[in-house]
Amino acid sequence: MKISILTLFPSMFDGFLSESIIKRAIEKKLVKFEIIDIRDFSKLNNNQVDDTPYGGGAGMVMMVEPVVDAINSVKTETSKVYLMTPAGIPFKESIAQDLSKEKHIILVCGHYEGIDERILNYVDGEVSIGDYVLTGGELPAMVISDAVTRLIDGVIKKESYEEESFNDNLLDYPTYTKPYEYDGHKVPDVLLSGHHKNIAEWRKSEQIKKTQERRPDLMK
Protein backbone atom coordinates (compact mmCIF):
# COMPACT_ATOMS: atom_id res chain seq x y z
CA MET A 1 0.00 0.00 0.00
CA LYS A 2 1.05 3.56 -0.66
CA ILE A 3 0.31 6.60 1.50
CA SER A 4 0.87 10.04 -0.02
CA ILE A 5 0.79 13.02 2.33
CA LEU A 6 0.34 16.54 0.97
CA THR A 7 1.58 19.22 3.35
CA LEU A 8 3.21 22.64 3.66
CA PHE A 9 5.49 21.20 6.37
CA PRO A 10 7.16 18.04 4.99
CA SER A 11 9.89 17.90 7.63
CA MET A 12 7.28 17.31 10.35
CA PHE A 13 7.14 13.72 9.03
CA ASP A 14 10.88 13.01 9.32
CA GLY A 15 10.77 11.57 12.83
CA PHE A 16 7.51 9.73 12.26
CA LEU A 17 8.91 7.86 9.24
CA SER A 18 12.32 7.10 10.68
CA GLU A 19 11.59 5.21 13.90
CA SER A 20 10.19 1.94 15.19
CA ILE A 21 7.35 0.05 13.52
CA ILE A 22 6.71 2.56 10.72
CA LYS A 23 10.40 2.58 9.79
CA ARG A 24 10.47 -1.22 9.70
CA ALA A 25 7.28 -1.43 7.62
CA ILE A 26 8.88 0.89 5.05
CA GLU A 27 12.13 -1.11 5.03
CA LYS A 28 10.16 -4.33 4.52
CA LYS A 29 8.33 -2.60 1.62
CA LEU A 30 4.96 -3.31 3.23
CA VAL A 31 4.09 0.37 2.90
CA LYS A 32 5.47 3.22 0.83
CA PHE A 33 5.24 6.82 2.02
CA GLU A 34 5.43 9.82 -0.27
CA ILE A 35 5.59 13.30 1.29
CA ILE A 36 4.62 16.04 -1.14
CA ASP A 37 5.31 19.72 -0.49
CA ILE A 38 2.23 21.66 -1.58
CA ARG A 39 4.40 24.78 -1.90
CA ASP A 40 6.12 23.17 -4.91
CA PHE A 41 2.81 23.63 -6.76
CA SER A 42 2.51 27.38 -6.24
CA LYS A 43 2.46 29.38 -9.46
CA LEU A 44 2.89 32.72 -7.67
CA ASN A 45 5.83 34.87 -6.64
CA ASN A 46 7.69 33.66 -3.56
CA ASN A 47 5.82 30.36 -3.77
CA GLN A 48 2.73 31.84 -2.14
CA VAL A 49 0.05 29.24 -1.33
CA ASP A 50 -2.37 31.18 0.88
CA ASP A 51 -4.32 34.43 0.86
CA THR A 52 -6.77 36.41 2.97
CA PRO A 53 -10.35 35.13 3.27
CA TYR A 54 -13.13 36.57 1.07
CA GLY A 55 -15.59 38.32 3.36
CA GLY A 56 -12.87 39.20 5.84
CA GLY A 57 -11.88 37.54 9.09
CA ALA A 58 -8.82 36.27 10.83
CA GLY A 59 -5.88 34.42 9.34
CA MET A 60 -4.99 33.07 5.94
CA VAL A 61 -6.70 30.49 3.76
CA MET A 62 -4.86 27.98 1.60
CA MET A 63 -5.64 28.47 -2.08
CA VAL A 64 -7.38 25.62 -3.87
CA GLU A 65 -5.25 25.49 -7.04
CA PRO A 66 -1.87 24.40 -5.62
CA VAL A 67 -3.60 21.79 -3.46
CA VAL A 68 -5.54 20.33 -6.40
CA ASP A 69 -2.38 20.37 -8.54
CA ALA A 70 -0.53 18.53 -5.77
CA ILE A 71 -3.34 15.93 -5.56
CA ASN A 72 -3.30 15.45 -9.33
CA SER A 73 0.47 14.97 -9.35
CA VAL A 74 0.13 11.74 -7.30
CA LYS A 75 -3.44 10.58 -8.01
CA THR A 76 -4.20 7.46 -10.07
CA GLU A 77 -7.48 5.61 -10.86
CA THR A 78 -7.22 3.66 -7.61
CA SER A 79 -6.35 6.53 -5.25
CA LYS A 80 -8.64 7.67 -2.43
CA VAL A 81 -8.19 11.28 -1.33
CA TYR A 82 -8.98 12.43 2.22
CA LEU A 83 -8.89 15.91 3.67
CA MET A 84 -7.75 16.33 7.30
CA THR A 85 -10.24 18.70 8.95
CA PRO A 86 -11.95 19.02 12.35
CA ALA A 87 -15.21 19.13 10.33
CA GLY A 88 -14.63 15.59 9.02
CA ILE A 89 -16.10 12.28 10.13
CA PRO A 90 -14.56 11.07 13.42
CA PHE A 91 -11.70 8.67 12.72
CA LYS A 92 -11.96 5.28 14.39
CA GLU A 93 -10.55 1.79 14.15
CA SER A 94 -13.18 0.63 11.65
CA ILE A 95 -12.12 3.42 9.28
CA ALA A 96 -8.46 2.42 9.74
CA GLN A 97 -9.46 -1.14 8.79
CA ASP A 98 -11.23 0.07 5.63
CA LEU A 99 -8.31 2.30 4.63
CA SER A 100 -5.77 -0.49 5.22
CA LYS A 101 -7.40 -2.39 2.32
CA GLU A 102 -6.87 0.46 -0.19
CA LYS A 103 -4.03 0.47 -2.74
CA HIS A 104 -3.26 4.17 -2.40
CA ILE A 105 -4.51 6.80 0.01
CA ILE A 106 -3.75 10.50 -0.29
CA LEU A 107 -3.98 12.54 2.92
CA VAL A 108 -4.28 16.30 2.44
CA CYS A 109 -3.15 18.47 5.35
CA GLY A 110 -4.64 21.92 5.74
CA HIS A 111 -2.94 24.58 7.83
CA TYR A 112 -3.74 28.12 8.97
CA GLU A 113 -7.51 28.70 8.76
CA GLY A 114 -7.97 25.73 6.45
CA ILE A 115 -8.26 25.31 2.69
CA ASP A 116 -10.64 27.10 0.29
CA GLU A 117 -13.93 25.15 0.59
CA ARG A 118 -13.88 24.33 -3.14
CA ILE A 119 -11.27 21.65 -2.31
CA LEU A 120 -14.28 19.46 -1.39
CA ASN A 121 -14.91 18.93 -5.12
CA TYR A 122 -11.58 17.11 -5.36
CA VAL A 123 -11.58 14.77 -2.33
CA ASP A 124 -13.36 11.49 -1.50
CA GLY A 125 -13.86 12.29 2.17
CA GLU A 126 -13.04 14.47 5.17
CA VAL A 127 -11.63 13.01 8.40
CA SER A 128 -11.21 14.42 11.93
CA ILE A 129 -9.25 12.73 14.71
CA GLY A 130 -11.26 14.16 17.59
CA ASP A 131 -13.10 17.07 19.13
CA TYR A 132 -10.30 19.57 19.61
CA VAL A 133 -8.60 21.99 17.25
CA LEU A 134 -5.05 21.46 16.01
CA THR A 135 -2.88 23.93 14.13
CA GLY A 136 -2.85 21.73 11.05
CA GLY A 137 -3.62 18.37 9.50
CA GLU A 138 -0.08 16.99 9.86
CA LEU A 139 -0.56 15.27 13.24
CA PRO A 140 -3.92 13.84 12.09
CA ALA A 141 -2.22 12.50 8.92
CA MET A 142 0.41 10.81 11.13
CA VAL A 143 -2.27 9.40 13.43
CA ILE A 144 -4.22 7.96 10.50
CA SER A 145 -1.07 6.65 8.73
CA ASP A 146 0.06 4.97 11.94
CA ALA A 147 -3.31 3.35 12.66
CA VAL A 148 -3.57 2.14 9.04
CA THR A 149 0.04 0.94 8.67
CA ARG A 150 -0.06 -1.32 11.75
CA LEU A 151 -3.05 -3.13 10.18
CA ILE A 152 -1.21 -3.96 6.94
CA ASP A 153 -0.39 -7.67 6.72
CA GLY A 154 3.09 -8.38 8.08
CA VAL A 155 3.65 -5.08 9.91
CA ILE A 156 2.89 -6.40 13.39
CA LYS A 157 2.02 -9.87 14.64
CA LYS A 158 -1.53 -10.74 13.64
CA GLU A 159 -2.40 -11.78 17.22
CA SER A 160 -1.92 -8.18 18.31
CA TYR A 161 -4.88 -6.89 16.34
CA GLU A 162 -6.88 -10.10 15.97
CA GLU A 163 -7.27 -10.06 19.72
CA GLU A 164 -8.34 -6.42 19.52
CA SER A 165 -11.13 -7.09 17.07
CA PHE A 166 -12.13 -10.28 18.90
CA ASN A 167 -12.41 -8.12 22.01
CA ASP A 168 -13.98 -5.27 20.15
CA ASN A 169 -15.62 -2.60 22.23
CA LEU A 170 -13.52 -3.51 25.28
CA LEU A 171 -10.40 -1.77 26.56
CA ASP A 172 -7.21 -3.85 26.86
CA TYR A 173 -6.51 -5.98 29.94
CA PRO A 174 -3.67 -4.85 32.24
CA THR A 175 -0.19 -6.20 31.43
CA TYR A 176 2.88 -6.64 33.65
CA THR A 177 6.54 -7.58 33.27
CA LYS A 178 9.51 -8.04 35.58
CA PRO A 179 10.14 -7.40 38.42
CA TYR A 180 7.45 -9.32 40.30
CA GLU A 181 7.45 -6.66 43.02
CA TYR A 182 8.14 -2.97 42.53
CA ASP A 183 7.99 -0.49 45.43
CA GLY A 184 5.62 -2.84 47.24
CA HIS A 185 3.36 -3.30 44.21
CA LYS A 186 3.05 -6.93 43.14
CA VAL A 187 1.96 -8.58 39.92
CA PRO A 188 -1.47 -10.29 40.29
CA ASP A 189 -0.77 -13.88 41.30
CA VAL A 190 -3.07 -15.43 38.70
CA LEU A 191 -0.56 -14.33 36.01
CA LEU A 192 2.13 -16.48 37.65
CA SER A 193 -0.15 -19.48 38.10
CA GLY A 194 0.53 -20.99 34.68
CA HIS A 195 -3.21 -21.77 34.54
CA HIS A 196 -4.15 -20.56 31.06
CA LYS A 197 -7.90 -20.77 31.48
CA ASN A 198 -7.83 -18.80 34.74
CA ILE A 199 -5.55 -16.19 33.17
CA ALA A 200 -7.89 -15.80 30.18
CA GLU A 201 -10.91 -15.45 32.46
CA TRP A 202 -9.14 -12.92 34.70
CA ARG A 203 -8.09 -10.85 31.71
CA LYS A 204 -11.59 -10.81 30.26
CA SER A 205 -13.13 -9.78 33.57
CA GLU A 206 -10.54 -7.01 34.00
CA GLN A 207 -11.40 -5.77 30.50
CA ILE A 208 -15.10 -5.67 31.26
CA LYS A 209 -14.54 -3.98 34.63
CA LYS A 210 -12.23 -1.31 33.19
CA THR A 211 -14.49 -0.61 30.21
CA GLN A 212 -17.60 -0.32 32.41
CA GLU A 213 -15.77 2.07 34.73
CA ARG A 214 -14.05 4.26 32.16
CA ARG A 215 -15.75 3.93 28.79
CA PRO A 216 -19.29 2.56 29.20
CA ASP A 217 -20.01 4.27 25.85
CA LEU A 218 -17.83 1.69 24.08
CA MET A 219 -19.85 -1.29 25.28
CA LYS A 220 -22.55 -2.70 23.04
Contact residues for ligand 6GU, defined by CB under 6 A: 84-86, 88, 127-130, 132-134, 136-137, 140
Residues in CB range of 137: below 8 A, 6 or more apart = 7, 83, 84, 85, 107, 108, 109, 110, 111
Q: Which is nearer to ligand 6GU, 50 or 211 (CB)?
A: 50
Q: 66 or 137, CB closer to ligand 6GU?
A: 137
Residue 30 vs 134, nearer CB to ligand 6GU: 134
Smallest gap, in angstroms, from Cβ of residue 58 to ligand 6GU? 15
Given the complex with ligand 6GU, which of 91 and 173 has the nearer CB atom? 91
Region label for 33, one of left (φ > 0), alpha (ψ between -120 and 50) or beta (otherwise): beta
**CB of 107 vs ligand 6GU, minimal distance in Å:** 9
Q: In angstroms, give the least distance from the CB of 196 to ligand 6GU.
A: 41
* CB of residue 84 to ligand 6GU, shortest distance in Å: 4
| Nearest distance in Å: CB 159, ligand 6GU | 30
Q: Which is nearer to ligand 6GU, 35 or 84 (CB)?
A: 84
Given the complex with ligand 6GU, which of 4 and 211 has the nearer CB atom?
A: 4
Q: How far is the CB of 133 from ligand 6GU (least distance, A)?
A: 5
